[in-house]
Amino acid sequence: MNSRRRNYGFFGVVVAVFFGVMCSASSFASDSLPATIERIKPGIVVVGTFQRTRSPRGLFLGTGFAIGDGSLVVTNAHVVAKQLDEGHLESLAVFIRRGGKDQMVQARQVATDPEHDLAILKLSGNARLPPMRLGDSSKVKEGELYAFTGYPIGMVLGLFPVTHRGIVSAITPMAIPVIQSRQLNTKMLKRLRNPYDVFQLDATAYPGNSGSPLYDPESGEVVGIINKVFVKESKEQVLSQPSGITYAIPVVYLRQLMGKVKGER
């Protein structure tokens, strides 16, 4: 009996220590997130188009964030897929808020990866933004806590970035086989040939969040790019009412794309 009591006592101590460590880690992540947001926020922008003769002149399409030397901005390829009205001098642009004032910088697309729905823009002139550091997406594990910052419903909420946080609830294939052949389409077939894993999150992203950086709350290192359209076309094609599940493309594919724009820096 005494032996059992001693064992239970030891077990209780182990459990208490374990939960104490977990609570401390969670608290530490919570404590560091406000400072991280303050640090990275200047490098997160609205991606859209600008046309001087249009009202409004700026059209918000999604979110992006600065990388490299600060002259490059990454977003989702579908965000910048809109056909520009070059006849009326419509151009790609990023929008930021500095010192209480809204600012616009024109940009051009210098690289795209349709397979992973990524695009890189180059800011015009000598414009630079504080770049975000890229992390190692191969080290991301299910259950880990991450945050993403972007511009949901941008034209309505304006240039005020919003942050959400949540765990990686699954690391799952970007496309899965469908139950019935009639559910297949050209996009699905193409993606089923070369499937890759994406991060599934338990935090909700909204229209305008596409292109937002998914980052470590403590270090601010980016491990993924939020995607609201591309993945849903594959994983949720069979749903009549798409879910609120959020996905992110691992940053390893962004690293590969950056190799194609070295001459643009």
Show which residues are catalytic: 78, 117, 210
Count, residues in the chain: 265
Amino acid identity at 35: A
CA distances from 53 to 27, 85, 91, 130, 202 (A): 50, 11, 12, 30, 42
Q: Work out the burial of residue 250: count CB atoms within 10 Å of its CB; fewer than 13 is exposed, 13-18 middle, 19 or more buried.
A: buried
Radius of gyration for the chain, computed over Cα atoms and rounded to the nearest angstrom: 21
Buried b (16+ CB within 10 A) or exposed e, 5-24: eeeeeeeeeeeeeeeeeeee
